[in-house]
Each structure stands twice: as structure tokens, then as C-alpha cells.
Amino acid sequence: MTDFDPVIGLEVHAELLTRSKMFCGCAVVDSTAAEPNSSVCEICSGMPGSLPVINQRAVEYALRVALALNCSIAETSVFARKNYFYPDLPKGFQITQYEFPLATDGWIEIDDPSAPVSSKRVRIRRVHLEEDTGKLVHRERHSLVDYNRSGVPLLEIVSEPDLGSADQARLYSLSLRSLLRYLEVNSGDLEKGVMRFEANVSLRPAGSVELGTRTEIKNLNSFRALSRSIEYEIDRQATLLRSGKPVAQDTLGWNEEQQITVSQRSKEEAHDYRYFPEPDLPPLHIDETWVEQIRADLPELPAVKRARFMSEYGLNAYAAGVLTAERSTAAFYEAAIESSQGTSPVKIANWLSGDLFGLLNEAGVEIDQSKVTSEALAGLVALVETGQISAASGKAVLDVLFAEGGSPESVVEKEGLAQVQDQAAIRLIVEQVLSNNPDQVSEYLAGKPALSEWFVGQIMRETRGKADPARVRTELDAALLALNDQEQSQSGR
Ligand SMILES: [Zn+2]
């Protein structure tokens, strides 16, 4: 994209992990698993005359997010009715916040792990509370409706159009997901629909400041769909503009099968929804002391933790990003360092993000559920670093720990993996290998130094990989040097 700059803003909808719904006492259930319509009452099914009540926990969770996003909190915010008809919306309106949202004017820094120094600040326009809709399940000739999700607290986070590429949009939404999980207000399970994205995309001539006509892509449920649809839309608009055609303002859907955006309806304006303040709810007043208490209780957030991991443990930006993306991973890593008694944090990071992550991903296991404890990992890395076992044996030990748990020392002992450190024992094997291979010894002495690697291989095989390679080399070099001297003296005099 050289002739046009993409301008992208995102709206993110995130369900809040409260026990009950936004305006009634119904339990929030996993809408992909629960019996349909099993958690529904007169309020969330929109019976006439029923009265909503604001869920205080939902407001608290929303404030956590708003504060973590550096927003200003409105002393008074107002719930409004957004009127439209759809079968998944039994009331005929959605309660949301419109003119007076809970929080405004924040920002988040997103990191691009592929760039060395990379913090991009994305401005947050607003954060507000609303309720989710029900769900339609389409059958061949009819549709079913499940109101379990109707009234689940939903947080809408709207960014300014500060994103310049599909990749930045993806990194931004990954950073948000990480933040929401750190704050323990959203599970981050995109497959369950707990986070959904809408992207607005426009192009403008490179270097220009005026905004072009934008289109809005609705209902994106995965990071992949998010970045693919934005890429597609950038290309589509660029092709139009290059051939002198205008981009029509439009609401689009993403066709996953064909990997294209498709027009859903012509432009819709805010006045179509006839917003007005919800008459059944009072304005929401937020107490300053409560805000300060929530602020004080915020955990260390991913960006801060990442910077600390770099300065405190000497990790590079990429490793620090990987280890702080999840709070549980970061906690595991720091617990391992604490129990390690001086093993290099970088080495522990390598074993954790390389070998252990590989096993976890393969088995689909979360780090909290892993049989490898942080102490065990630290102990294992120490055994390798002090040469008590080889790196290859270390991987074998990790496999056993992953499958069975236990301590690395006991696995090493049980499997007989300890390296032979005994100098005399190694010397004996070296001499044995040399005397068993007189031809190779002669070749070596005749001027083929590369053969020393071959001898190392033979010796390691003889010890079934358990000799400390550094000691093997020392002993081998000494023995070969002695043979060389011997030959020199025989031929020289
Ligand atoms: Zn209900």
C-alpha cells in the first residue's frame, strides 16, 4: 500500500464474567453448552412491565477496564434505549449507553513483537456498558431462538481510527484480550463468542489528513477473520479508488467460506435507532472513592510487566511479550526464578517458552493444569546448566515430568540419565575407543584433525550419551596430543 494509507478503528464487544446478568438475577451460563432458554426471566425475555436493576459487579468490572485503559470516568453516565426489531431482541430495544458513556478518552499501548522497539499508542474513544442479545440458531426451514445470552453484561470498547494496518488491528485486539484476562473480567474464549469485533476501514491518499469514506465490517469472531477481512477491504477499496470509483459507505459482513466482505444493508444512521434515556433506570452515579479503590486494586498490567521482565531478567522484547501475554504464565515464570537459586532467568525463559510451551500446546493444556511445577522446571534447568545432565537428557526428563509430574532429580535417577562426570571413568573410555580404532588414529595423526569429532561421537555412543561432552573433549585432546608426541619422538630420532 504505497499510494493509500489505511485508517482503521475497532469496536470490541466483550462479555463480562459476572455471575448474573446486567439487569436481572439470571445466572450467566455458557451459551454454547447450556440447555437453551434455561437461564431466562421476565426481565431478560422482555416481558412488558418488568423492571431492570443495574448489576453493580458489572459496573465494577467495566471500571477496572476503563481505568486500565487510562480513561476518564464519567461521574454520571446514562443508560439509553436503542430501538430496533430483531427476533434475538425480545424487548424491541437494547439497553446501552449512548450520549453519556461510562468512560472516555483513554489509550492503550500495543506492542509489535516483530519490531525491536515498538510501542504504538492507540487512543480509546469510549468504554460503555450494555446488554447482549439472544442467539438465533438457524435450521433448514426455520430458526430457533435462545435467550440465555439475552441480558448478559457487555462492554463496548471503541478505539479512535489510529490503526494503520490489518496487523496493527490484530495486535491491538490481542493486547485488549490480554488486558481483559489480566483484569479477570473476560475469559478470552473467542470460540465461545465472548469477544466480538467490528472494524471500520477507510483509505486516504498517502500523507493526506482528510478521512475517506469508511465501511464497517460487522460480527468478526476471530483474530483471523478480523485481519483477513480488513486486508480484503483495504484491497477492495484501493482497487475502486485507483479506477476512479467512489467507495460507498456501507455495513459489511465477512463471508468466511469465500473470504470476501459482502454488503449487509445500506448505511444506517444513529437517528434510525431513536435513542432516548432508559426511563426505568436512574442515571448511574460513580463514587470517586470507589473508583480510587478499584484503581488501587488493579494488578500489574501486561505492558508494565513486559517492560519489567526486560529490565529485571534481561529478556528480549519478544520473550518478555510471550511470557507476559498471560498472567498465569508470568506468575509461573517468576515462581520458577524464585525457586531457582541463581539459574539464569534467560535460560529458564528459553525452556519455558520453547520446550514446555511446545508440550502444553500439543496437549492443549493450560500452564496452571500442567504437571510440571515451576520448581521442577527451575530444578531441571539447573541440572542442565551445571552439566549434571545433557541438554538432550533434559528434554527427555521434561517429557517424563510433563506426563507424570515429580521432581527432575528423581526422574534423572530413575532413568539413569546423570552424566558421567568422573574424570577417570571418561579417560578409560577414551583410551578404549582410541585403541579399538587404530586406523582412524593413524589418519588423525597423519593430518586429519576433523576426525576428533568422530572420536567424540564414538565415545558418547559408548557412554550412551551420558558423558559430559566438555570433559570428553578435554580427555580426548589430551590423549591425542600424547599419541602425537609419541609418534613425533619415534619418527624424529
Ligand atoms: Zn433474567
Average pLDDT for residues 480-489, to the nearest whole number? 84
pLDDT higher than 90, residue 88: yes
Instruction: Compute, in angstroms, the gap from residue 281 CA to the centroid of ligand 1.
Output: 16
Lowest-confidence region among 285-294, 337-346, 462-471: 462-471
- Grade residue 266 by pLDDT with cuts at 50, 70 and 90: low
Contact 40, 27 (CB under 8 A): no
On whether the CB atoms of residues 19 and 63 are closer than 8 A, the answer is no
H or E stretch covering 425? helix 423-436
Average pLDDT over residues 347-366: 94
pLDDT of residue 492: 60
Which range has the worst mean pLDDT, 94-108, 173-187, 207-221, 267-281? 267-281
Cα 320 from Cα 318, distance rounded (Å) = 5
Burial class, 481, CB count within 10 angstroms (exposed 0-12 / middle 13-18 / buried 19+): exposed
Residue 151 CB burial class (10 angstroms; 0-12, 13-18, ≥19): buried
Does position 481 have pLDDT exceeding 90, yes or no?
A: no
Distance CA 204, CA 211 (A): 6
- The whole-number pLDDT of residue 115 equals 59
The yes-or-no verdict on residue 413 having pLDDT over 90 is: no
Q: If you measure from the C-alpha of residue 44 to the centroid of ligand 1, how many angstroms do you get, rounded to a whole number?
A: 4
What does the block give as the cell for 481?
Answer: 596430543
pLDDT at 71: 98
CA of 34 to the centre of ligand 1 (A): 15
CA 212 – ligand 1 centroid, Å:
43
Q: Which domains does the chain have, with CATH numbers?
A: 4-295 (no CATH), 300-415 (no CATH), 423-492 (1.10.10.410)
If one compares 19 and 493, the residue with the highest pLDDT of the two is: 19
> Is the per-residue pLDDT at 275 higher than 70?
yes
Encode pLDDT of 15-33 as tens digits. Answer: 999 999 999 999 999 988 8
**What is the residue-averaged pLDDT of the chain?**
91
Q: What angle do CA 131, 79, 283 make, to 5 degrees?
A: 135
Residue 334 CA, ligand 1 centroid: distance in Å: 42
Per-residue pLDDT at 1 exceeds 80: no
- Cα 288 to ligand 1 centre (Å): 30
249 CA to middle of ligand 1, Å? 37
Q: Is the pLDDT of residue 417 over 80?
A: no
The DSSP letter of residue 449 is T
pLDDT surpasses 90 at 318: no
At 114 the pLDDT is: 59
Q: What is the pLDDT of residues 450-462, one digit of tens each?
A: 888 899 888 888 8
* CA of 131 relative to ligand 1 center, distance in Å: 11
- pTM above 0.85? no
**Dist. CA 74 → ligand 1 center (Å):** 27
pLDDT of residue 397: 92
Cβ distance 440 to 450 under 8 Å? no
Beta strands in 132-280 (DSSP E): 135-138, 143-146, 153-159, 195-205, 215-220, 250-255, 260-266, 276-277
Q: Are 429 and 418 in contact (CB under 8 A)?
A: no
The mean per-residue pLDDT over the stretch 390-409 comes to: 91
Between the CA of 274 and the centroid of ligand 1 the distance, in Å, is 25
The DSSP annotation for 383-431 comes to: HHHTTSS-HHHHHHHHHHHHHH---HHHHHHHHT---B--HHHHHHHHH
